[in-house]
Amino acid sequence: MAVLQAQGLGVTYQAENGEVRAFRDISFSVEAGQFISIVGPSGCGKSTLLSALAGLLAPTTGQVLVMGKPAAGISPHIGYMLQRDALLEWRTIWQNVLFGLEVRGQVNDETRTRARRLLDSYGLGGFADKYPRQLSGGMRQRASLIRTLAAGPDILLLDEAFSALDYQTRLQVTEDVYAILKREGATALMVTHDIPEAISMADRVLILSARPGRLREDLPIAFPGLGRRTPLSCRSHPAFQTYFDHIWKELKRDA
């Protein structure tokens, strides 16, 4: 079933010195459990596209269908992860994890149990009473993901969610997040400017053109013969370089 659909989506916003067409006429659909990466030349409106899908921004044309229904505003089916972990420094990890539920007035025994289970299964059980500044960058990012998952979203949007981390932490967090998402059976869309990262996690890569961004290609990613796929293991698969060269060539056409 298509959990998320974009139909002829376009965003034009009014800036001080004129109209800016971020992207136009973008259509695609995402099946449950898929991981989609979105890449494009810088300034092609990738992040704006994600904001429109999240309901943070009303599209100028077209519409977004969430779970088959037209979405208006922020949908509780959607979880959003930002570039930095955006943890609240004055709250403990536990209070941070409950933040989304608290805002929605959904803190109860059931959701608390779910949040507790997520913390325990992803290695943060012992850190519930710590403050964010007492955690390492990777742990903070995991806590941020758990906060998003604790609210029980069906679709996860990641806006360059790892770009603030140093390279090693980033590889590790990518592994962690990928494992968590697969175990939770989550559907995810990730915007990134890092081509290897996009390939390593995705079932499909959407390639956008330069501004105004259009969907140039919807590239399925598969690594035949690879036993257990993880973002790190697929990097050494021969198909990886082929995908990389292809995407690189596509992106360069605009430069």
Partner 1 sequence: MHDPQASRATRPGGPAALSPARQAYLRARRRRKALVLCCQLGFLLAFFAAWELSARAGLLDSFIFSQPSRIAATLGSLAQNRLPMHLAVTLYETLTGFVLGAGLGLGVSVALWWSPFVARVAEPYLVVLNSLPKIALGPVIIIIAGAGTGAIIFMALAISLIVTVLEMLAGFRHTDPQLITMARTFGATRRQLLCKVVLPANMGTLFNSLKINIGLSLVGVIAGEFLVSKAGLGYLIVYGGQVFQLDLVMASVLILAVVAALMYQAVSLLQRAAARRFGGR
Q: Using CA atoms, how far apart are residues 144 and 23, in angstroms rounded to an integer? A: 29
Identity of the residue, 50 or 181, whose beta carbon is nearer to partner 1 in the bound complex: 50
Q: What are the beta bridge partners of residue 213?
A: 23
User: CA-to-CA distance for 28 and 6, rounded, in angstroms?
Assistant: 5
> What are the angstrom distances between the C-alpha of 200 and each of 194, 203, 215?
10, 9, 20
Output 152 or 212, the one with its CB closest to partner 1. Answer: 152
Omega prior to 196 cis, within 30 of 0: no
Structure tokens at 57: 């921004």
Smallest distance, partner 1 to C-beta of residue 184, A: 18
CB of 117 to partner 1, least distance (A): 20
| b/e 109-130 (16+ beta carbons within 10 angstroms → b) | eebbebbbebbeebebeebbee
Cα–Cα distance, 120 to 112 (Å, whole number): 12
Which residue number, 138 or 196, has a Cβ lying nearer to partner 1?
138
Minimal distance in Å, beta carbon 41 to partner 1?
23
CB of 137 to partner 1, least distance (A): 6
Binding interface with partner 1 (CB under 8 A): 54, 56, 73-74, 76, 78-80, 82-84, 86, 88-92, 99-100, 102-104, 127, 130-131, 133-137, 151
User: Least distance in Å: CB of 79 to partner 1?
Assistant: 7
Q: Rank residues 118 and 195 by Cβ distance to partner 1 and give the closer one.
A: 118
Residue 140 or 211: the one with the smaller Cβ distance to partner 1 is: 140
Q: What single DSSP character describes residue 205?
A: E
